[in-house]
């Protein structure tokens, strides 16, 4: 049946036969979505009805879906709720005629408001059509957020009109690490690409029609070697021409703490918020080695001026400037959990990734928290480490059952599955790593922790048939 599992479902006798040309009514955005997703045409009016109806028990995303021999009725308090009803309905429609839908009554609402997946398009610039497909797959799993990791040491993918070199130079690297060798030999093959603002706006609109919000990440002030290669004045040694990084790992080159660099970054963020209407902007903050600041008189002067005890704390101050700027534009910031130890701006939403216990630490520091610990949610990790046919991965193992069994600390706003892409140069590999573990993560996010893994696995077997029909290159169950 449904995946993710619904909060409540009762199956009754009988069925409703959905025939080609059946009628659909409801808010235009919803009927348009149904038409887009069903593989055959529908008429106006008739047996499938979507309706907005205030119902405090359903929350912002819940819905009620009733299938009787006479038709289908879905109600929700919001269009988002109706969108998830559409996805549930879709899962119940057989692939081929006669399309007999079981009579059921479903009442459903998510356990967490934040159910996301990070996709890293900085290490490899995955083609725009794949981003559409990924969004569609998120929606089919009732995941409501795509966290798009747009910039890193190895590539800058977000077009900035004021600073074209960010993509013209920062979007391209001379060569890449040879993907199949741990010793990080280079492959000699250039790689690059970027997305225009127009392309990203169109993606945002497509995602919105499916109830998926896109949170951009501009990773700052570390993971910025590509930006510094484009504009050396951003770095701590402006006379040095760096190249876009050609190996994985963390660059020691980070942004300097000058007023000019700060204002450059604020200009970039102004363009980011024009393209991405979602109220959150992720401004990174992970893995910032401070050696360059420690060696920079300018940075040390800044630390002294602010009266900070630790050089690292200046990252919190700097991030706070970005947060203020974004707040003035109606946006909230999201950051990685390193900031919890470096004076994170109050109110910043923390993505706890380093370890499971960092979720607790971030909550205790008073932040809204999305649970994204690498131990349970890093889908770029290998599922097993003892199978020689397993493609190279950055780490592992992270089996399906461990994702499914993750129990986030009470109080988090949600969960997120990360698909970093160092070792995922092709979209086939992205799908192979992401699925079916993202389905497990989606059920955790929607249905809540504590599900029965054996029962989930049985439902998943049926769900894989759906993924087959969509041509998803998932990793077969082992």
Q: What are all long-range contacts of 305-313, with beta carbons under 8 Å and residues at least 24 apart?
A: 310/342, 312/288, 312/341, 312/342, 313/342, 313/343
Question: Applying CB under 6 A, does 353 fall inside the site for ligand TNX?
Answer: yes
What is the spatial distance between Cα 299 and Cα 439, in angstroms, rounded to a whole number? 45
Question: Applying CB under 6 A, does 378 fall inside the site for ligand TNX?
Answer: yes
Closest separation in Å from C-beta 144 to ligand TNX: 21
What is the spatial distance between Cα 97 and Cα 95, in angstroms, rounded to a whole number? 7
Buried-exposed string 213-223: b where 16+ CB fall within 10 A, e elsewhere: bbbbbbbbbbb
> Closest CB to ligand TNX among 29 and 355?
355
Q: Pattern of binders to ligand TNX over 413-442, x per CB under 6 A?
A: -------x-x--------------------
Annotated catalytic residue 409:
no
> Closest CB to ligand TNX among 61 and 337?
337
What is the spatial distance between Cα 447 and Cα 4, in angstroms, rounded to a whole number? 6
Question: Applying CB under 6 A, does 156 fall inside the site for ligand TNX?
Answer: no
Closest separation in Å from C-beta 114 to ligand TNX: 17
Under 8 Å between Cβ of 43 and 124: no
Maximum alpha-carbon separation in the chain: 77
> Closest CB to ligand TNX among 391 and 448?
391
Annotated catalytic residue 20:
no
Question: Applying CB under 6 A, does 55 fall inside the site for ligand TNX?
Answer: no
What is the spatial distance between Cα 187 and Cα 462, in angstroms, rounded to a whole number? 40
Distances 300 to 96, 294, 340 between C-alpha atoms, Å: 68, 6, 22
Residues with Cβ within 8 Å of 21's Cβ and at least 6 positions away in sequence, in order, are 41, 42, 43
Closest separation in Å from C-beta 429 to ligand TNX: 14
Closest separation in Å from C-beta 423 to ligand TNX: 9
Task: Please identify which of the residues 64, 191, 223, 253 carries the catalytic annotation.
Answer: 223
Q: Which of 66, 103, 266, 394 binds ligand TNX (CB under 6 A)?
A: 394
> Closest CB to ligand TNX among 121 and 203?
121
Closest separation in Å from C-beta 219 to ligand TNX: 8
Question: Applying CB under 6 A, does 202 fall inside the site for ligand TNX?
Answer: no
What does R_g of the chain's alpha carbons equal in angstroms? 23
What is the spatial distance between Cα 270 and Cα 262, in angstroms, rounded to a whole number? 12
Task: Please identify which of the residues 61, 152, 286, 431 carries the catalytic annotation.
Answer: 152
314-317-319 Cα angle (round to 5): 105
Query: By CB under 6 A, what part of segment 318-347 binds ligand TNX?
Result: 336
> Closest CB to ligand TNX among 286 and 431?
286
Closest separation in Å from C-beta 353 to ligand TNX: 5
Residues with Cβ within 8 Å of 208's Cβ and at least 6 positions away in sequence, in order, are none
> Closest CB to ligand TNX among 65 and 362?
362
Question: Applying CB under 6 A, does 287 fall inside the site for ligand TNX?
Answer: yes
Beta strands in 240-368 (DSSP E): 280-284, 332-336, 349-352
Annotated catalytic residue 367:
no
Active site residues: 152, 223, 287
- Which residues contact ligand TNX by CB under 6 A? 286-287, 336, 353, 378, 380, 394, 420, 422
């Amino acid at each position: 049946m449904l995946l993710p599992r619904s909060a409540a479902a009762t199956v009754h006798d009988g069925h409703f036969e959905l025939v080609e040309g059946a009628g659909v009514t409801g808010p235009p955005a919803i009927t348009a979505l149904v038409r887009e997703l069903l593989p055959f045409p529908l008429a106006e009016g008739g047996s499938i009805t979507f309706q907005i109806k205030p119902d405090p028990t359903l929350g912002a995303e819940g819905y009620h879906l009733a299938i009787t021999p006479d038709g289908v009725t879905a109600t929700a308090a919001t269009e988002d709720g109706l969108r998830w009803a559409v996805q549930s309905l879709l899962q119940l429609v057989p692939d081929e005629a006669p399309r007999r839908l079981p009579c059921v009554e479903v009442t459903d609402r998510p356990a967490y408001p934040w159910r996301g997946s990070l996709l890293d398009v900085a290490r490899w610039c995955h083609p725009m059509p794949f981003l559409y497909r990924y969004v569609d797959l998120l929606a089919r799993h009732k995941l409501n957020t795509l966290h798009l990791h747009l910039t890193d040491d190895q590539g800058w993918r977000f077009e900035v009109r004021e600073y074209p070199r960010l993509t013209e130079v920062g979007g391209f690297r001379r060569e890449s690490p040879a993907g199949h060798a741990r010793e990080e030999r280079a492959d000699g093959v250039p790689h690059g690409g970027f997305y225009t603002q127009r392309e990203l706006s169109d993606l945002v609109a497509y995602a919105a029609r499916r109830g998926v919000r896109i949170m951009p990440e501009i990773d700052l002030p570390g993971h910025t070697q590509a930006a510094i290669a484009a504009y050396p004045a951003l770095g701590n040694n402006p006379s040095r021409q760096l190249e876009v990084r050609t190996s994985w790992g963390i660059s020691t080159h980070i942004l300097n703490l000058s007023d000019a660099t700060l204002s450059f970054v604020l200009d970039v963020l102004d363009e980011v918020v024009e393209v991405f209407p979602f109220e959150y902007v992720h401004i990174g903050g992970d893995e910032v080695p401070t050696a360059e600041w420690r060696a920079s008189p300018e940075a040390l002067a800044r630390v002294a001026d602010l009266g900070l005890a630790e050089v690292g704390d200046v990252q919190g101050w700097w991030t706070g400037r970005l947060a203020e700027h974004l707040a003035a534009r109606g946006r909230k910031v999201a950051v990685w959990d390193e900031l919890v130890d470096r004076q994170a701006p109050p109110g910043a939403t923390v993505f706890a990734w380093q370890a499971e216990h960092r979720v607790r630490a971030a909550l205790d520091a008073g932040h809204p928290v999305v649970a994204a610990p690498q131990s349970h949610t890093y889908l770029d990790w290998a599922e097993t480490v003892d199978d020689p046919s397993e493609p190279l991965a950055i780490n592992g193992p992270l089996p399906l059952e461990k994702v499914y069994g993750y129990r986030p600390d009470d109080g988090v706003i949600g969960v997120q599955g990360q698909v970093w892409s160092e070792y995922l140069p092709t979209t086939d590999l992205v799908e192979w790593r992401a699925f079916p573990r993202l389905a497990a993560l989606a059920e955790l996010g929607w249905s809540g922790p504590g599900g029965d893994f054996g029962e989930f696995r049985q439902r998943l077997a049926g769900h894989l048939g759906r993924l087959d029909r969509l041509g998803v290159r998932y990793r077969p169950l082992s």
